[in-house]
Structure formats: structure tokens, C-alpha cells
């Protein structure tokens, strides 16, 4: 009986630990500078504002020398932003998720679609907080 209770206690503690870990998987804010690699290019992504919205918040800033406009959802880690400049207008679209590889180590991974440059199509994208 005591053995059974002990096993249940361990199982309950494990579930609680798992739940706590899952609940803090994504940061509340992604404002700041991110060091990114988009296909073959190294870029700095600067998210200068995160405001408004309900489930998801609108984000704005720069990527390289271009502007970005999109959203981040703190409840799911989902992000999406459009990259624009003049005269091309919006020429790339980035989408993906944040995750925590180890506690406190957040990464942004996903894909971006290019509508104007050659070759067109999708390529990988990864970013981590800039030092």
C-alpha cells in the first residue's frame, strides 16, 4: 500500500513538473534584437514594438535594412512577419514558432517565402537573441 502511494506521489510530481514546464514554454515578449540566419544570409532582426491584439500581438521593427510587420502569439509561440522595402514592397514572408531548447535559451525557427528574388520559394530561418 505504501509502495503504491509512493509511486502515485512520484507520478503526480512528474505530471506537475511537466505541466509547469509546458506553461512557460514561450516568452511573453519578443521585443529586442535577434541574430538570424535566413537561407544564406546573416541578419539582425530588431523587434521594436509588440502591442495590441487579443490572442496575438502586433509586432513591428526592422530586418536587415528593411521593415517588418507581423504578429507574435505568446500563448502558442507562433510568429509571422512581412519584410518590405522600397521599391519592392513586401517581398518576403516569415513564419514559424518560438521554442526553448533548454531553460532560458529561446530560439525562433521557421521558414520564409520569397516572392521577388531568384530563386523564388521557401527556405529555412532561425534566430536567437543577440548578445
Residues that bind other proteins (CB under 8 A): 51-58, 69-71, 73, 78, 80-82, 84, 87-90, 93, 95, 113-116, 118-122
CB of 82 vs other proteins, minimal distance in Å = 5
Query: Among the residues of the chain, which ranges form H helices?
Result: 2-23
CA 33, CA 48: separation in Å to the nearest integer? 8
Q: How far is the CB of 67 from other proteins (least distance, A)?
A: 9
Q: How far apart are CA 114 and CA 91, in angstroms?
A: 6
Nearer to other proteins, 21 or 88 (CB): 88
To other proteins, the closest distance from the beta carbon of 100 in angstroms equals 21
Return the CA Rg of the chain: 19
Amino acid at each position: 500500500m505504501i509502495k503504491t502511494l509512493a509511486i502515485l506521489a512520484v507520478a503526480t510530481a512528474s505530471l506537475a513538473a511537466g505541466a509547469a514546464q509546458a506553461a512557460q514554454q514561450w516568452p511573453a515578449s519578443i521585443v529586442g534584437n535577434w541574430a538570424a540566419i535566413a537561407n544564406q544570409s546573416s541578419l539582425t532582426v530588431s523587434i521594436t514594438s509588440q502591442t495590441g491584439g487579443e490572442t496575438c500581438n502586433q509586432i513591428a521593427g526592422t530586418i536587415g535594412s528593411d521593415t517588418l510587420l507581423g504578429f507574435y502569439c505568446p500563448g502558442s509561440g507562433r510568429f509571422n512577419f512581412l519584410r518590405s522595402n522600397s521599391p519592392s514592397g513586401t517581398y518576403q514572408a516569415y513564419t514559424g514558432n518560438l521554442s526553448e531548447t533548454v531553460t532560458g535559451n529561446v530560439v525562433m525557427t521557421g521558414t520564409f517565402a520569397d516572392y521577388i528574388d531568384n530563386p523564388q520559394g521557401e527556405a529555412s530561418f532561425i534566430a536567437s537573441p543577440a548578445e
